[in-house]
Amino acid sequence: NAGVTQTPKFQVLKTGQSMTLQCAQDMNHNSMYWYRQDPGMGLRLIYYSASEGTTDKGEVPNGYNVSRLNKREFSLRLESAAPSQTSVYFCASSDGPGVTGELFFGEGSRLTVL
């Protein structure tokens, strides 16, 4: 099983450019999440989707949008990239409810904004 698959793995953008990070899971999980990880800051939740058709903001949603395309797919869009969005982005999924903290992570997407 592939688990959680993210694309792309690496991306370099110029300030103001837009891009979409794609995420798909094949575990039939209900909940999906987008986190960013920065040195000294830990993992911070950007957006999450508790079930197909719903999305909610996390701790750091500014500058991002998400789409829960179907039960398998959850995308993260940067409309106008800024250097502060340079980070490693992780998509995760969980069965939920009842196992909400038991997350399965994708391999990560390393984004650099110049």
Partner 1 sequence: QKEVEQNSGPLSVPEGAIASLNCTYSDRGSQSFFWYRQYSGKSPELIMSIYSNGDKEDGRFTAQLNKASQYVSLLIRDSQPSDSATYLCAVGPRRGGYQKVTFGIGTKLQVIP
List of residues contacting partner 1 (CB under 8 A): 31, 40-45, 48, 50, 58, 90, 94, 96-108
- C-beta closer to partner 1: residue 14 or 40: 40
CB of 17 to partner 1, least distance (A): 25
Amino acid identity of residue 6, one-letter, is Q
- C-beta closer to partner 1: residue 14 or 53: 53
- C-beta closer to partner 1: residue 53 or 98: 98
Characterize 30-65 residue by residue with b for buried, 16 or more Cβ atoms within 10 angstroms of its Cβ, and e for exposed.
bbbbbbbeeeeeeeebbbbbbeeeebeebebbeebe
CB of 36 to partner 1, least distance (A): 11
User: Two tokens at 37?
Assistant: 């990880």
- C-beta closer to partner 1: residue 84 or 100: 100
* Pairing assessment for the beta strands 87-94 and 109-113 based on DSSP bridges: antiparallel
**C-alpha R_g of the chain:** 13
CB of 80 to partner 1, least distance (A): 26
CB of 13 to partner 1, least distance (A): 21
In terms of phi and psi (left: phi > 0; alpha: psi -120 to 50; beta: otherwise), the region of 28 is: left
